[in-house]
Amino acid sequence: MLRGKILLRINRRLAMTLIFVLLLIFTFLYSISFASQNVREAIVKVYTVSNSPDYYNPWSMQGPRSSSGSGCIIEGSLILTNAHVVSNQTFLQVRKYGDTQRYSAQVVAVSHLTDLALLTVEDSNFFEGEPALSLGELPETQQEVLVYGFPMGGDMLSITKGVISRIEHQPYVHSSNVFLAGQIDAAINPGNSGGPVLVDDKIVGVVMAGIPSAQNIGYMVPVPIIRHFFKDLEDGMYDGYPSLGISIQDMENEGLREYYQMETEMSGILINQIVPGSPADGNLKIGDVLLSIEDYTIGNDGTIEFRTNERTHLNYVIQQKQIGEDIELTFLREGEREEVKFNLSRSLKKDRLVPMEQYETLPSYYICGGLVFCPLTKDLLNIWGSQWAQSAPRELVCQLLNNIPEKEDQQIVVLLKALAAEVNQGYQNVNTWVVDRVNGEKIWNMHDLVEKIENSQEPYIIFEDQWNKKVILDKEKVTESSQEILETYRIPLDRSEDLLN
């Protein structure tokens, strides 16, 4: 009898414990379901109509094109998405998860460098009662993530699961610039762009690209880049990323390190070029060996350890800074260790001779005697398609091998093509030709080209390349034929707006 009572008490305790555990599990699952439902309600689909410039006919546009992407609601009645989802947009709408109505939206801020954009909706009903997602922390490798969005294959919300494969610097497709990126193995397809990558219902990244030729390799803009974007906007203006202004060379070769008098325990990278007018100009010299940046020791391969046993490019440290902040460097000059501190006062975009992709900007052009001149840009190279490196003219592609200007505001001026007319007879097959001089004088940019042509008192306009090949036009005939050529080819002006003044 006593044994039976003891067993009954034990069974009751077991039953109560079991009920308690089940209640905990139910509460946990309910909270997950509730949180997931809140997340779903914060996801939006973005509908975009865009119109991009035609860089081969720089006075024209390509025409409207429709596309869609994803985004999520964040604090401040804002929507976070990719810049490439809304670039060159002419009409923008968003639709909430589970809703049928589309709302007109506007771009509040955009970072084309890091492929991020913020949108808002004027109709206050859009955000009323909707949850807002917040930012989390940079996830660890192999940490599980969820990707939310509206990819191709259906119209309903898609949720895929994966892990963070690695975190390192990668080229961003939208800008051709290299920034910290997270690689994920969750399924990503067209339409996922701009959707959040979540850990514990917090944003750890924004989907930006997938690799169609690979199996489940996608990339996200990680949360440190998103935080930098938000901090930059605190003063109401987006400034971008600062530039140090140097070109570097790895020092993995022992003989190279010995030549520059590096001690055995030292590691670093060699400065082989300095951009004119950059923060480094006057503070560092060609031949200096950069040993550390802030508190990070630089490896001989140009990387720093940003987390334990995880390395990425030293630009990680520079890209944590805002324009106008100071940076501290330690370097070796002729065997002597030195330190310097200076202000990162200049934007990254001024460092390049050939600008990378530009958006919401019309191409620069000038027409003289039916000859169309424009600056060399990555957008111009893109007219040869995604394989432009193989299909574009060698003379243009090779300009990217050392993409550093000799002086500030320098451009490479290209004779793009000839609009056939009597005044340019014999030159109608001349195209994508880099112009070096006008009437014997070096030209540095498009403004310089226009000024030298229009201020010249010579009877002929002589264009030359660096190998002394010449294109010569009669200036009087150029003046006489100018308006007729524009009317024949239905071109409104002989130059772009940036060259009117």
Catalytic machinery residues: 84, 115, 193
Strands 413-418 and 371-375: antiparallel
3 state DSSP class of 132: coil
Within 239-367, residue ranges assigned H as helices are 254-259, 315-318
Phi-psi region of 191 (alpha: psi -120 to 50; beta: other; left: phi over 0): left
Pull the structure tokens for residue 249.
């060379």
CB 16 within 8 A of CB 121: no
Contact partners, residue 470, CB within 8 Å, separation at least 6: 462, 463, 464
CA distances 59 to 64, 106, 374, 416, 493, Å, are 16, 26, 11, 13, 8
φ/ψ region of 353 (left if φ > 0, alpha if ψ in -120 to 50, else beta) reads alpha
Alpha carbon distance 56, 382 (integer Å): 10
Find the distance separating the first CA and the last CA of the chain, reported in whole Å. 107
- Tell me the residue ranges of DSSP E strands in 54-135: 61-74, 78-81, 89-96, 103-111, 116-121
CA angle 112, 209, 382 (to 5 degrees): 60
Cα separation, 70 vs 51, whole angstroms: 19
Neighbouring C-beta atoms of residue 282, cutoff 10 Å? 10
Beta strands in 323-459 (DSSP E): 326-333, 336-343, 366-368, 371-375, 413-418, 433-435, 437-438, 441-442
Coil/strand/helix, residue 284: strand
Q: CA-CA distance, 487 to 424, in Å (whole number)?
A: 16
219 burial type by CB count under 10 A (0-12 exposed, 13-18 middle, 19+ buried): buried
- With tokens 């039976």, the residue in question is 4
User: Which amino acid does the sequence have at 183?
Assistant: Q
Strands (E), 97-153: 103-111, 116-121, 144-149
Beta bridge partners of 67: 48
